[in-house]
Amino acid sequence: MYQILDRVDYSDDVYMQVIEAPAVAAACQPGQFIILMIHEEGERIPLTIADFDREAGTITIVVQAIGTSTRHLQKLGRGDSVSNFIGPLGMPSEIENVGTVVCAGGGVGVAPIYPIARALKEAGNKVICIMAARNESLLFWEDKLREVSDELIVTTDDGSRGRKCLVTEPLKELCETGDIDLVYAIGPGVMMKFCSKTTEPYAIKTFVSLNSIMVDGTGMCGGCRVSVGGETKFVCVDGPEFDGHKVDFDLLMSRQKQYIPQERKSLDAYLESEAASKAAAWHMAGSHAAACNAVVTASV
């Protein structure tokens, strides 16, 4: 069992958990991911390693609750445990001193960008981070990202914090300076697609981290296959990072949607069972209060 040592909610849907997993913490590198299972019959959930502490033997994950498993995990807090925690998986980021690097994180993609930006900074690069979200309430880790950045640009779609624009606007301005040697873009598929399209005319190498649907995470099932430069690649063993100029994002995004009816059915069943157990708890509490009232009334 792997114990949850800490937990912070960043919004209604986004939360952070620190999990005790010394073997994973000892071996992991920026860019890698883990697969966890909440219980033995649970779904396998791939999640990027957002931070790690080798001394404490912990891994930090930041999760967006979107379906049954990520909502179930959201209910667990300090002292709870998950049954399986497999990793580190995937290839580490290529960290070299290349000059000036832009690290763009969109939404929950800010979490996986953090260890990469930190490693790039430690390798001697000038690091410019862009963190982007739909609105201010969805921003997190601004302080952590600022610590590892020479410059930090914040954007929100609605202008509630930082610049009111999409991540691609400051990215294009930076490309135009002619000073950028490498770009990392991590976030939703559509964000990574348009970041890659932005840098392509400037021929700036751009890494993206793909989140295709995974099952085993070991290269056996083929579930995570993507097309990169016309070749089939498995995200779990060949990635998750690839050259964004070569990725077929439209295929990736259509494959991500292939189980939506089943996922919706599973979420409806989960929410129904949650509502039923809440109602039962209220009923129990109500009966208990009525019984207490009866005792108090009788004794008066």
Ligand X SMILES: Cc1cc2nc3c(=O)[nH]c(=O)nc-3n(C[C@H](O)[C@H](O)[C@H](O)COP(=O)(O)OP(=O)(O)OC[C@H]3O[C@@H](n4cnc5c(N)ncnc54)[C@H](O)[C@@H]3O)c2cc1C
Using CB under 6 A, list all residues that contact ligand X.
Answer: 33, 43-48, 62-64, 66-70, 108, 111-112, 211-214, 240, 256-257, 260, 263, 267
Instruction: Name the residue with tokens 């990027």.
Output: 48
Residue 192 interacts with, from ligand X, ligand FES, none (CB under 5-8 Å by kind)? none
Q: Does 215 bind ligand FES (CB under 6 A)?
A: yes
Tell the residue number behind the tokens 């995200």, with chain if given. 235
Least CB distance to ligand FES at residue 76 (A): 24
- Which of ligand X, ligand FES, none sits in contact with 111, Cβ below 5 to 8 A by type? ligand X
Q: Residue 91 and residue 233: Cα distance in Å, rounded?
A: 13
Is residue 150 classed as helix, strand or coil in its secondary structure? coil
DSSP assigned state of 23: H
98 or 267: CB nearest ligand X: 267
The least distance separating ligand X from the CB of residue 215, rounded to whole angstroms, comes to 6
Token digits for 44?
């396998």
Pairing of strands 205-209, 182-186: parallel
Q: Which one of 224, 226, 247, 252 is in contact with ligand FES (CB under 6 A)?
A: 224
Cα–Cα dist 90/259, whole Å: 24
b/e map 52-77, b = 16+ CB within 10 Å: beeeebbbbbbbbbebbbbbbbbebe
Backbone angles phi, psi at 299, to 5 degrees: -75, -25
Q: Cα(266)–Cα(261) distance, rounded to whole angstroms?
A: 9
Q: Smallest distance from the beta carbon of 127 to ligand X, in angstroms?
A: 20
The entry of ligand X, ligand FES, none near residue 108 (CB within 5 to 8 angstroms by kind) is: ligand X
Per partner kind, with CB cut-offs from 5 to 8 A, the member of ligand FES, ligand X, none near residue 217 is ligand FES
Q: Is 89 helix (H, G, I), strand (E, B) or coil?
A: strand
Nearest to 94 by CA among 147, 50, 29, 33: 29
8 Å CB contact between 117 and 103: yes
Count of alpha carbons within 13 Å of 77, Cβ hemisphere only?
3
Q: Is 69 helix (H, G, I), strand (E, B) or coil?
A: helix
**Stretch touching ligand FES by CB under 6 A, among 84-92, 190-198, 203-211, 212-220:** 212-220
Nearer residue to ligand FES within complex by CB, 80 or 216:
216
Give least dist CB 235 to ligand X, A: 6
DSSP secondary structure string, 263-279?
HHHHHHHHHHHHHHHHH
Closest residue by beta carbon to ligand X = 67
- Tell the smallest beta-carbon distance from residue 63 to ligand X (Å): 4
Pick the piece of the chain touching ligand FES (CB under 6 A) from 221-229, 241-249, 251-259, 280-288. Answer: 221-229
Residues between 233 and 292 that touch ligand FES (CB under 6 A): 234, 236
Q: Which does 219 bind (CB under 5 to 8 A by kind): ligand FES, ligand X, none?
A: ligand FES
Closest CB to ligand X among 88 and 162?
88
Kindly tell me which residue out of 151, 165, 219, 266 binds ligand FES, with binding defined by CB under 6 A: 219
User: Taking CB under 6 A as the criterion, which residues in 130-149 touch ligand FES?
Assistant: none
Which residues are at the interface with ligand FES (CB under 6 A)? 214-217, 219-224, 234, 236
